[in-house]
Chain A
Amino acid sequence: MSTPSSQLALNPGVLKRNPTSELTRERTRSAWIFLAPTLIVLLLVAGWPLGRTIFFSFTDASLETIGEQTYKMVGLQNYFGDYGVFNFAAADGFWSTDWGMAIQNTFKFAIVSVVLETILGVVFALVLNADFKGRSFVRAAVLVPWAIPTIVSAKMWAWIMHDQFGVMNALLRSAGIIDHNIAWTADPAYALWSVVLVDVWKTTPFMALLTLAALQMLPKDCYEAAHVDGIHPVRVFFKVTLPLIWPALMVAVIFRLLDALRVFDIIYVMTSNSISTISMSGFVRREIVDNNYVGFGSAASTVLFLIIGACTLAYLKASRVDLGGKK
């Protein structure tokens, strides 16, 4: 058998074409050695705690009994029945239980904010793609909301929306749109939509930048053709631009949707654990940490995990992720 280097000299494609060669085997071995630390860390921070959380969902564990290992198995009690997350026998029906509310809040929040930020994001991207003075300044300005930590944006907006001293009430009142101060984050009628507004403000830049990237890859010639033919720009947008950027846009939408379904920080900081806005993540954390029902909270988190898992599969299918390394 020839040495690896002479083989390589004879045939530069040897790395792929000869799967049993010494070199290939050695490279496979080193691949696993290089992957090992990452895999161990991923197993430690994701696999193991996830498995334990699912396990706790079948126990009556509390934060104290976790350390002492004195919890006991309770079967499916945390999932079904009077004390389960799926309490279909609840007095006012499942959807009025806290978990039912959390599911509704989360989906309302996710869908409305993703739809709004997609539309706004496309508008922003179209404007940023146009030619005007000070374009680089505006491009930088658009990045500012994205760069601000979520907690800070939540606090900033909580102050802007303050019921007594907030600038939002003051502006709307002086414009004659409202005639009394509104408690934007405390009133159940407005609280969820206030949180949506903040999320839209914070994540529209992300959508705008992704859309802009797609816009800049479009071929110029079909626009010139449309221009010469005198087709109205709005028509050009719906007939040419939108279909072309649609795939990229959809991937971004699903990516954001998955993110929005996990929401916690914005809602927690702006409205605390208020039941009219609590998200699924907020509910899980409240049960585990604040109420010390680790078993029950873990059951809810397992359900959340399954919901997001299903959405992730949809995402992988939709984006047809390239796993083989081929372009």
Chain B
Amino acid sequence: MDLTTQRALYKTGLYILVALISLFCLFPFYFAIVTSLKSGTELFSTKLWPEAPSLRNYISLFTIAEQPFGRHIFNSLGVSAMVVVASLFLGVTAAYALGRITFKGKGLLLLTVLAVSMFPQVAVLSGMFELMQAIGFYNHWWGLTLPYMIFTLPFTVWVLTTFVRDLPKELEEAAIMDGCTPWGIITKVFLPVMWPALVTTGLLAFIAAWNEFMFALTFVLDNNQRTVPVSISLISGADKYEIPWGKIMAASVLVTLPLIILVLAFQRKIVGGLTSGAVKG
């Protein structure tokens, strides 16, 4: 076999693989969009495109009073935003202490933070149930902010600490010489250069809170207080045996599209954040 045929074969093989990978990754979401546009009996045909696309499923999401989907989107946005703000605030202050100051017990602290990020959520389920009820957070969408910190905070602290640690020492020394307080150093020296790390960790915390299911399912029972993932899992039809797949797919597409747009827009930053969170350690 001469070199040109070999190269041609390689190219063909590569493009077949590329096509397969793209199909594998994109088909399920494509099919969800197609299903969400089908209605009536068309739903039960396995055609790969809608014959008579209609937005009926999307409209019905917002017009049925028993399942206030708009309200659920609002709840999810609210709790995710609160989680992001709280984790970033705590993360930045902790990262300054852990990344810039040498003190006894720091290694142990970092280890603890890392250990918490490995926590199985159910390990705190009954204790958290008691706590949420005792402090009146139970059954409110905003109350979920507290348990969500268990998975966003360790991650945020860890990534921000790595970032702060790698900043040049001169930045801070100049500020100390000018008599800047530690709080001043954080807000005036570090925050302005930290925004790339803040965008990444904030986005990842937002996605984690937006997607969370188990705590939301367990700690919120009131139908008006639910968040989106639980809402989707509970969408039901007129009777028990008729599952409204078109509507479920419409809701799925609605909550996923913004995420996909965000992720694609911040592609590089997210990949960098994931890599430093998981591998750099």
**Which chain A residues have a beta carbon within 8 Å of chain B's beta carbons?**
4-5, 8-9, 12, 15-16, 23, 27-28, 30-35, 37-39, 41-42, 44-46, 48-53, 55-56, 61, 63, 66-67, 123-124, 127, 130, 132, 134, 137-153, 155-157, 159-160, 162, 164-167, 170-171, 201, 205-206, 209-210, 213-214, 248, 251-252, 255, 258, 261-262, 264-265, 268-269, 280-281, 284-285, 288-289, 294, 297-298, 301-302, 304-305, 308-309, 312, 315-316, 319, 321-325
- B94 to A, closest residue via Cβ: A38
**Which chain B residues have a beta carbon within 8 Å of chain A's beta carbons?**
11, 14-15, 17-18, 21-22, 24-26, 28-29, 31-32, 35, 43-44, 46, 48, 86, 89-91, 93-94, 96-99, 101-104, 106-107, 109-116, 118-131, 133-134, 146-147, 149-150, 153-154, 157, 165, 173, 176-177, 179, 182, 186, 207, 210-211, 213-214, 218, 228-229, 232-233, 245, 248-249, 252, 255-256, 259-260, 262-264, 267, 270-271, 274-275, 278-279, 281
Contact B182 A30 (CB under 8 A): yes
CA of A146 to CA of B101, assembled, Å: 36
Contact B214 A53 (CB under 8 A): no
Contact A159 B271 (CB under 8 A): no
- A255 to B, closest residue via Cβ: B278
Can you list 27 contacts pairing A with B, beta carbon distance less than 8 Å?
A5-B177, A30-B101, A34-B182, A35-B98, A37-B93, A42-B154, A44-B131, A46-B119, A143-B263, A145-B25, A146-B263, A147-B262, A149-B256, A150-B213, A151-B229, A152-B229, A205-B25, A251-B278, A252-B278, A252-B279, A262-B120, A262-B121, A294-B129, A301-B123, A305-B119, A321-B111, A323-B110
Contact B274 A210 (CB under 8 A): yes
CA of A213 to CA of B280, assembled, Å: 11
- Chain B residue numbers with a CB within 8 Å of A269 are 213, 233
Which of B99, B124, B131 has the most A CB atoms < 10 Å from its CB?
Answer: B124
Find B271's partner among A149, A164, A213 (CB 8 Å cutoff). A213
Q: How far is the CB of B62 from chain A (nearest CB, A)?
A: 18
- B113 to A, closest residue via Cβ: A42
Q: Given A138-B18, A264-B214, A321-B114: A66 and B157 within 8 A (CB)?
A: no
- Chain A residue numbers with a CB within 8 Å of B15 are 132
Contact B103 A31 (CB under 8 A): yes
Q: Dominant SS at the B interface?
A: helix
Q: Given A5-B176, A285-B218: A38 and B157 within 8 A (CB)?
A: yes
Q: Given A27-B101, A285-B218: A143 and B93 within 8 A (CB)?
A: no
CA of A98 to CA of B122, assembled, Å: 17
Contact B124 A281 (CB under 8 A): no
The 7 closest A-B pairs by CB, nearest first: A49-B127, A52-B127, A49-B124, A170-B46, A31-B97, A38-B94, A323-B107
Total A-B residue pairs with C-beta atoms closer than 8 Å?
A: 309
- Chain B residue numbers with a CB within 8 Å of A284 are 122, 125
Contact B28 A156 (CB under 8 A): yes
Contact A50 B123 (CB under 8 A): yes
CA of A37 to CA of B95, assembled, Å: 12
Contact A132 B14 (CB under 8 A): yes
Contact B21 A325 (CB under 8 A): no
- Chain B residue numbers with a CB within 8 Å of A63 are 129
Contact A152 B252 (CB under 8 A): yes
CA of A48 to CA of B150, assembled, Å: 12
- Chain A residue numbers with a CB within 8 Å of B14 are 127, 130, 132
CA of A5 to CA of B43, assembled, Å: 74
- Chain B residue numbers with a CB within 8 Å of A144 are 25-26, 29, 260, 263
Contact B22 A53 (CB under 8 A): no
Q: Given A132-B14, A143-B263: A151 and B120 within 8 A (CB)?
A: no
Contact A157 B101 (CB under 8 A): no
- Chain B residue numbers with a CB within 8 Å of A213 are 271, 275, 279
CA of A89 to CA of B202, assembled, Å: 50
- Chain B residue numbers with a CB within 8 Å of A302 are 123
CA of A66 to CA of B154, assembled, Å: 28
Contact A315 B35 (CB under 8 A): no
Contact A166 B46 (CB under 8 A): yes
Contact A34 B260 (CB under 8 A): no
Q: Given A8-B173, A145-B25, A251-B281: A285 and B94 within 8 A (CB)?
A: no
Contact A48 B44 (CB under 8 A): no
- A151 to B, closest residue via Cβ: B229
- A147 to B, closest residue via Cβ: B263
- Chain B residue numbers with a CB within 8 Å of A15 are 102, 173
